[in-house]
């Protein structure tokens, strides 16, 4: 059911907006994990290698378990929640790396996006 004046086009537009936001959050999560690795690796070449390694692991986990087209044991309608969990871990990693404000912004954006995805009548899909 749509609110007054909000038809199917509005619902599709909001679903597309949520999908775009989710993609940006995925990129932010990837960057957060890379920064965390760099920071706990002490910066320099060792930190760079650790940051890259953690970013690759994050991306592989996302690709294998969370992505819309993944052949995952996680049911498709639950994947946004699992993805949110992974993104919240990335926000926590930012907090551990002393980026508390960025961690809070990422965490709040993830929660708002997850609520929007599950609150919409049309779930975003990538076909």
What's the mean per-residue pLDDT of the chain? Answer: 88
The total number of structural domains that make up the chain = 1
Domain of 76 in residue numbering reads as 22-119
Query: Can you give the pTM of this predicted structure?
Result: 0.83
**What distance in Å separates the CA atoms of residue 116 and residue 75, rounded to the nearest whole number?**
19
A 10 A CB-CB count for 119 gives 9
Look at residue 5 in the predicted model and tell me its pLDDT. Answer: 54
- 8 belongs to a structural domain: no
- 75 belongs to a structural domain: yes
The string of pLDDT tens digits covering residues 40-84 is 999 999 999 999 999 999 999 999 999 888 888 999 888 989 999
Q: What is the DSSP string of 67-111?
A: STT---SS-TTTHHHHHHHHHHHHHHHHHHTT-HHHHHHHHHHHH
Look at residue 114 in the predicted model and tell me its pLDDT. Answer: 93
Look at residue 68 in the predicted model and tell me its pLDDT. Answer: 83
**What distance in Å separates the CA atoms of residue 104 and residue 90, rounded to the nearest whole number?**
11
The string of pLDDT tens digits covering residues 81-92 is 999 999 999 999
Mean pLDDT of 95-114: 97
- 109 belongs to a structural domain: yes
Look at residue 127 in the predicted model and tell me its pLDDT. Answer: 43
% of the chain exceeding 70 in pLDDT: 88
- 12 belongs to a structural domain: no
- 10 belongs to a structural domain: no
> At which residue do the structure tokens 């965390």 appear?
36
- 125 belongs to a structural domain: no
Residue 73, CA distances (Å) to 65, 106, 111 in order: 7, 27, 23
**What distance in Å separates the CA atoms of residue 51 and residue 34, rounded to the nearest whole number?**
4
**What distance in Å separates the CA atoms of residue 103 and residue 42, rounded to the nearest whole number?**
20
**What distance in Å separates the CA atoms of residue 59 and residue 84, rounded to the nearest whole number?**
14
């Amino acid at each position: 059911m749509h609110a007054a004046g909000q038809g199917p086009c509005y619902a599709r537009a909001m679903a597309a907006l949520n999908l775009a936001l989710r993609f940006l959050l995925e990129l932010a999560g990837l960057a957060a994990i890379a920064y965390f690795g760099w920071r706990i690796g002490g910066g320099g070449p060792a930190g760079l290698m650790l940051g890259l390694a953690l970013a690759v692991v994050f991306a592989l986990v996302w690709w294998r378990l969370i992505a819309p087209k993944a052949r995952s044991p996680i049911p498709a309608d639950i994947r946004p929640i699992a993805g949110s969990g992974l993104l919240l871990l990335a926000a926590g990693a930012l907090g551990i790396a002393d980026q508390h404000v960025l961690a809070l912004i990422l965490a709040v954006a993830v929660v708002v996006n997850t609520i929007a995805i599950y609150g919409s009548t049309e779930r975003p899909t990538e076909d």
